[in-house]
A and B are shown apart, each in its own frame.
Chain A
Amino acid sequence: DAGVTQSPTHLIKTRGQQVTLRCSPKSGHDTVSWYQQALGQGPQFIFQYYEEEERQRGNFPDRFSGHQFPNYSSELNVNALLLGDSALYLCASSGDRSIGGYTFGSGTRLTVV
């Protein structure tokens, strides 16, 4: 049973560029969340998608946007990249919006130069 799959694993972008990260949830899961983890910090919630709609959003600017597809996979888009966007981006999926635990992917390491 495949877990959460994220691509790419590593990415280097130039300041001002745009980036798209992808996530396939664990089989049977329909809710996808994205987190940003800076070095030495705990992950910070970006947003959550359920039924192809953004249901909840953390304290991130509008440069961060997302999408969920009918097959429950998801994309995270970041526009006008800043050096401070360099981080590990984690995707998590859940099969129950309230009581279930989350399964995380291995993450995408984004470096902005």
Chain B
Amino acid sequence: KQEVTQIPAALSVPEGENLVLNCSFTDSAIYNLQWFRQDPGKGLTSLLLIQSSQREQTSGRLNASLDKSSGRSTLYIAASQPGDSATYLCAVRSRGGTSYGKLTFGQGTILTVHP
């Protein structure tokens, strides 16, 4: 059974800091890993999708890395801004068996960036 853990559970930083969010998963048999952002009471916005054959993806100030063999991914946010405040969720799409195609989510990291 795939399990996804995100550390830290919450993070509060001053504006301008570079920060790292961590995600770990127990089963390396994945198709891909996706990072999402969720604003309070809202749906999920996809930030980055990394296929299992890739090592990293970048979009603007965001960079996500994937080490499938060790079951880890990190989301790096450069020069954080108050508008980055949200919950960040990591999800893996598992291969094969009964887990085919579904996403397994971590609990999320609540990020607060204060001016």
Listed in ascending order, the chain A residues whose CB lies under 8 Å from chain B are 4, 6, 31, 33, 35, 40-45, 48, 55-56, 58, 88, 90, 92, 94, 97-99, 101-107, 109
Task: Check if B44 sits within 8 Å of A104, measured CB to CB.
Answer: yes
Q: How far is B16's CA from A12's CA once the two chains are assembled, in angstroms?
A: 41
Decide: A56 near B51, CB < 8 A? Known: A42-B89, A105-B43, A107-B43: no
Interface-centre pick from B46, B99, B101 (highest chain A CB count, 10 A)? B101
Task: Check if B32 sits within 8 Å of A42, measured CB to CB.
Answer: no
Decide: A104 near B36, CB < 8 A? Known: A41-B107, A42-B89, A42-B107: yes
Q: How far is the CB of A1 from chain B (nearest CB, A)?
A: 14
Q: How far is B36's CA from A98's CA once the two chains are assembled, in angstroms?
A: 18
Q: How far is B4's CA from A43's CA once the two chains are assembled, in angstroms?
A: 12
Which are the 9 A-B pairs with shortest beta-carbon distances? A42-B105, A106-B43, A101-B49, A104-B44, A45-B102, A107-B43, A104-B43, A42-B107, A43-B105
B34 neighbours in A (Cβ, 8 Å):
101-102
Q: List 27 A–B pairs whose Cβ atoms lie within 8 Å, in order of A's numbering.
A: A40-B107, A41-B107, A42-B89, A42-B91, A42-B105, A42-B107, A42-B108, A43-B103, A43-B105, A44-B105, A45-B102, A45-B104, A48-B102, A55-B100, A90-B43, A97-B100, A97-B101, A98-B93, A101-B34, A101-B46, A102-B34, A102-B91, A102-B93, A102-B103, A104-B45, A104-B46, A106-B42
* B60 close to chain A: CB less than 8 A: no
* B76 close to chain A: CB less than 8 A: no
Q: How far is the CB of A9 from chain B (nearest CB, A)?
A: 10
Task: Check if A99 sits within 8 Å of B32, measured CB to CB.
Answer: yes
Encode B13-42 as 1/0 by CB contact (under 8 A) with A: 000000000000000000110101000011
